[in-house]
A and B are shown apart, each in its own frame.
Chain A
C-alpha cells in the first residue's frame, strides 16, 4: 500500500464552481500534513498546512480526519489560475511523503 494515495482526477470544472478531493495516508502516527500545488513543469510549492481543527485560506479549505486517515481540500469559486496539480503531503518525523497528485482544470 502506498503511503499517500490521491484521486488522480482530472477534475474539469467551470469557473466559479466548487471542487473537492481527498487524500488517504497509511501511517496513523503521521505528524503533520500539507497541500502543495504544482504547475506544469514547475516545482511544487506549499499551498497550505492542514490543521486538526480544519483551516481556511481564502477560497481554500483543508480538513483532516485522523480517525479515518484522510485529508481533504476544497476550492470554492474556482478561478482559471487554480488549474494545477495538487499534491497531498504527509510528514512522518523528518520525511515528507507525497501523493501522486490530483489534477484540476478550471475552464472559462
Chain B
C-alpha cells in the first residue's frame, strides 16, 4: 500500500504525558499537512511542510505542539503535557507540488487524554 500511513492509530494517555505521532506521506509528495478533527467538525489546519521546511503553523497550535519533517520524508507531531482538550483525531495528508492537486489523507491517529 503506497498511501499515507500514520501511527499509532490510537493512543490513550493520561493528562500531562507527552505523545508523538508519525506520518509517512506518499513518497513523491513534497507537501505534507497536519490537521486535527473533533466530532462534528471538519479538519482544522495545524501546520504545513514543503519538503523539510515548516512554512506555516496555525494559531491553534500552542507551544506544547511541535512538528518536524527532518529529511523531507516522514513527519512527526509531538504534543507535550497533554490536556483533555487535545483529545481528537490527528490527520496527516500529503499532495504534490501545485495548488490544484488532490490532498491524500492517512487514516488518522486518534488521541484520547484521560
Q: Could you list which residues of chain A lie within 8 angstroms of chain B, going by C-beta atoms?
A: 4, 6, 8, 31-32, 34, 36, 42-46, 49, 87, 89, 91, 93-101
CB contact list, B68-106 vs A, under 8 A: 91, 99-100, 102-103, 105-106
A31 to B100, CA, bound (A): 9
Question: Of B33, B42, B108, which contacts A100 at CB under 8 A?
Answer: B42
Residues of B in contact (CB 8 Å), total 22
A46 touches B102 (CB 8 A): yes
Q: What is the predominant secondary structure among interface residues of chain A facing chain B? A: strand
A42 touches B99 (CB 8 A): no
Chain B residues within 8 Å of A43, by CB: 91, 105-108
> Which residue on B lies nearest to A89, using beta carbons?
B103
A96 touches B45 (CB 8 A): yes
Chain B residues within 8 Å of A36, by CB: 103
Known: A49-B100, A93-B99, A94-B55. A99 touches B106 (CB 8 A): no
Chain A residues within 8 Å of B44, by CB: 98
